[in-house]
Amino acid sequence: MSYGSYLALDTLLSAQQPVSRHHDEMLFIIQHQTSELWLKLMLHELRAVRVQLAADNLRAAMKGVARIKHIQRSLTEQWSILATLTPSEYVQFRGDLGAASGFQSYQYRAVEFMLGNKNAGMLKVFDANPPARAMLAVILKQTSIYDEFLALLARRGFAVPAELLARDVTKAHVFNPAVVEAVRVVYEQPDDHWDLYEACEELVDLEDNFQLWRFRHVATVKRIIGMKAGTGGSSGVGFLQRALDLTFFPELYAVRTEIGN
């Protein structure tokens, strides 16, 4: 076995096939391909985190979250490379992309599903890609990592509402004030619940990183195409800006208002 054969470099390095003759399209392709590789690793780690939480292995789960946070930093930093693509450079090959759009990234959608932003309506976007649709359909019906974390809190004796533990997991988690009160106990008594206290902060880090990635995405797209519609019929910057309002773990943020009151 050689380095090249182990990494399948012949396959990997032949996967960059520009559809135009413009020099800067290679940057665009590699940016998105490497992002998909990092998303693949993130999904690999999220699946393991979910299993560890369900098995009450909180420390192992948080080790996985720590790795995911580093993956997120790499994904976020990559936007600075794409931002070197100027509007006049991008317009040279943008028309050749046809209906291709980052909105069609099924791995990105899978990450959002695993973090709790479920939306069954998104499956139809992937009707033309049955394997991707099937993968998303499976994840849609599974608990998210936040569902599993709340279930772990309940097993530890915290007052997580029973209806929340038995909810329809194909839908996005909805803010529940009772969860804020449960988490408040963790934050007000950190020495008694240190691993849970640390886990809450790790999850907040994960969401903060995700929001930073979204912001850099918006900023980069605005820098390159301004307020134009995105490829594939998406609304471009407007759509991306609305995503900044989404949250995965609302109670972990809301509890901050309650501490000390």
How far apart, in Å, are the Cα atoms of 196 and each of 121, 154, 179, 185, 261?
A: 34, 12, 14, 10, 21
Alpha helices in 104-192 (DSSP H): 106-115, 130-140, 145-155, 162-165, 177-188
217 among the known binding-site residues? yes
29 among the known binding-site residues? yes
90 among the known binding-site residues? yes
72 among the known binding-site residues? no
Spatial distance between the Cα atoms of 58 and 139, rounded to a whole number of angstroms: 21
Spatial distance between the Cα atoms of 230 and 236, rounded to a whole number of angstroms: 4
Joined together, the tokens standing for residue 257 give 């208002």
- What residues contact 259, with CB distance under 8 A and at least 6 apart? 184, 187, 188
DSSP at 116: T
Joined together, the tokens standing for residue 233 give 């019929």
231 among the known binding-site residues? yes
DSSP at 29: H
Name the residue among 121, 130, 153, 190 with its Cα closest to residue 54: 153
28 among the known binding-site residues? yes
259 among the known binding-site residues? no
Binding site for heme, by residue number, is 217
Instruction: Please state the residue numbers annotated as binding site.
Output: 28-32, 90, 94, 217, 231
Annotated binding site for substrate: 28-32, 90, 94, 231
